[in-house]
Structure 1
Amino acid sequence: MNFPVTKLVTDSSTPALTVPPGSFVAIRFGLAGLAFSPLLARSEDLGKTLRAGAEVGIYLALGYVSQAVGLVTEGAGEAGFLCSLQVVFVTLVGAVRKGGITFREGLSAMLAVAGVGVLEGIGGGMELGPGFWLLMLQPFMFGMSYLRIEKYMKSTDSLSFTASQLIFTALFAGIYSVVGEGGVEGLAGSFGGIVGDGWLSPQALAVAYTAVFGTIISIALETEALKHVSPRETSVVLTTEPLIAGLGGAWLLHEQFQGWLGAALILGASAVTFLPAFGGEGGEGGGGETGE
């Protein structure tokens, strides 16, 4: 649901709701970081936690800002498909580091991407709109964030690390907003516009939804999960997001939903990854692909 909600708020075709993309990301992560900031006290090495959060925050900010800017001109479903390519990126990085790729890893990656492609009707061709190349940053930036989170989770408290990621993502997105969208006044004006009509206005509800469900909960769960499963497995599971994006786009934005074959392929990718019948063991374990 993050894709359609973000598009709804940043799309200029709905001027009553429009918030600049960078401002939207900065405010979304700023609220999430503020809520989680007391958990920094859990860290046994605050300096290390902040440095780790700063590194991952760069990747997340680049991923989420490029996503929000790209969604101004591209569809939520198309953004979801391009984001799903993170499973290919992470699988290839793992293959390079391990010196090879197993049949199960290759099959699950192909099923996941094919499923999202069928879901979004990519077989008929994808139009390269002005936001396409920005959306193409998603798989690389989000994929890198998973790889780095896994490394840091070997010696970092997950909740304090999550807080650090949220804070630095907000900071870097805020820098983009200030430099590229209208200065400090523009960012402050965006926040005032969001809450000016009350916390039950469409803009405020959208920011609250993405801050809580799309930011705090999702990043906290991803961070904790990467202590137990590999980035590749995480990326396979997250290919279900375009399915949710497609359903959300059909509901909120009246975009065309392509059907259930793609959904079956996506779920098949998860089955190949995790079910023992396909050689999965319910998780390869963190640290299995990335090394130090």
Structure 2
Amino acid sequence: MKKTALADISLLFVAFIWGSTFVIVQKAIQFLPPHFFNGTRFLLAALLLFIFMKKKSKFSINLLGAGMFLGVFLFLGYAFQTIGLLYTTSSKAGFITGLSVMIVPLFAIWILKDKPRSIVFLSAFIGALGLYFLTVGDMMSMNIGDLLVFFCAIAFALHIIFTSKFSSKHEAIPLTIVQLSTVSLLSFISSTMFEKTSFSYDALFNRDVIIALVITSIFATAIAFLIQTKFQQFTTAARVALIFAMEPVFAALTAFIVINERLSGNGLIGCLLIFIAMIVTELPDIKEIKGIKQKHGM
């Protein structure tokens, strides 16, 4: 199997894991505050990867810098997403997070110096229209949770962009460990600052919390980010974002199956428009189509 195909399948598996854990996390943060939950989750994941790390692996200064840099964007993404889940639904959070698939190509033009493509701006417009139907059109006013999850989409887009930049330069496991450790540290600091009296440590032994920590720390964090860091070097940032566009679909399906969560008519229209925007992002421009025709003598 070609490396690109293996990368696509592996990253799709990551999208499935992330999408299916929205409901689990939403249940857990009813007992544990978001920052403390994330701190615990990412600490367990980092320790798990450290146990399986090869002895010859090294943490160079450049690797530490790259990992901490990626970790900051990862922390912001999960902080905005987890807190946003306190105020919005799993389905909506999944689709709003999916907006990162359009943000990535826009940022790639600026950061990675990719060539600008007109189709990207069309998809951004469709996505913005979908976001309107999903949030304002669905609820008559922008929910604070929706706004926080939108900031999460921006942070995740930047994480994808910079992972493309650094993943080929460093070993996957050490780079992932530094990222996850950075998220854990920043989450615990945030919890100390903002969540001092909001929970009891007995909540750690709640059944829903234990299930959420085990599933998210092992599968949605340690394994998922190791796969992303390892395989993203074999594909483009825009393609990774397109594959991750399946995450909100998995989130909506899981929310429907597990807690019978349904979207209104406007909400469904918004989800459909956002999903169309995700697909449109990867369509070729008119210039590219003409170039293909000329190449084949059409």
Shorter-chain TM range is 0.7 to 0.9
Distance 1:37 1:261, change over 3 A: same
Distance 1:222 1:104, change over 3 A: farther
Distance 1:107 1:238, change over 3 A: farther
1:256 aligned residue (253, 257, 262): 262
Aligned counterpart, 2:5? none
Aligned counterpart, 1:178? 192
What amino acid sits opposite 2:116 in the alignment?
I
Structure with the largest fraction of helix: 2
Q: Unpaired runs of 5+ in structure 1? A: 12-17, 281-292
CA contact (8 A) 2:84 2:149 kept: yes
The percentage of aligned residue pairs carrying the same residue is 22
Matched, 1:43 2:69: no
Q: Deviations over 1:179-235 (max 9, x none)?
A: 11017xx78x44x522x35xxx22201111111221112211111222111211111
**TM-score, normalising length from structure 1?**
0.76
CA contact (8 A) 2:42 2:217 kept: yes
Aligned counterpart, 1:64? 78
What amino acid sits opposite 2:117 in the alignment?
T
Aligned counterpart, 1:232? 238
Cα distance in 2, alignment partners of residues 246 and 48 from structure 1: 39
Q: Deviations over 1:138-161 (max 9, x none)?
A: 122111111222211221001111
2:179 aligned residue (156, 165, 177): 165
**1:116 shift after superposition:** 7.4
1:102 aligned residue (117, 138, 142): 117
Aligned counterpart, 2:69? 55
Cα distance in 2, alignment partners of residues 233 and 137 from structure 1: 21
What amino acid sits opposite 1:220 in the alignment?
L
Aligned counterpart, 1:22? 35
Aligned counterpart, 2:101? 87
The structure, 1 or 2, with the larger RCO (C-alpha pairs under 8 Å, 6+ apart) is 2
Aligned counterpart, 1:283? none
Matched, 1:7 2:21: no
CA contact (8 A) 2:42 2:183 kept: yes
Cα distance in 1, alignment partners of residues 42 and 77 from structure 2: 13
Matched, 1:246 2:252: yes
CA contact (8 A) 1:40 1:163 kept: no
**1:19 shift after superposition:** 1.1
Cα distance in 2, alignment partners of residues 262 and 82 from structure 1: 9
2:203 aligned residue (181, 193, 199): 193
CA contact (8 A) 2:22 2:251 kept: yes
Cα distance in 2, alignment partners of residues 86 and 56 from structure 1: 16
Distance 1:274 1:212, change over 3 A: farther
**TM-score, normalising length from structure 2?**
0.74
Cα distance in 2, alignment partners of residues 167 and 213 from structure 1: 16
**1:64 shift after superposition:** 0.4
Cα distance in 2, alignment partners of residues 176 and 54 from structure 1: 16
Distance 1:207 1:267, change over 3 A: farther
CA contact (8 A) 1:37 1:164 kept: no
Q: Deviations over 1:247-280 (max 9, x none)?
A: 11112332105779967984895698499xxx89
What amino acid sits opposite 1:236 in the alignment?
L
SS at structure 1 position matched to 2:144 = coil
Work out the number of aligned pairs and report it.
261
Cα distance in 2, alignment partners of residues 214 and 159 from structure 1: 15
Aligned counterpart, 1:131? 145
**1:24 shift after superposition:** 0.9
Distance 1:40 1:114, change over 3 A: farther
CA contact (8 A) 2:63 2:170 kept: yes
SS at structure 2 position matched to 1:136 = helix
CA contact (8 A) 2:131 2:270 kept: no
CA contact (8 A) 2:26 2:90 kept: yes
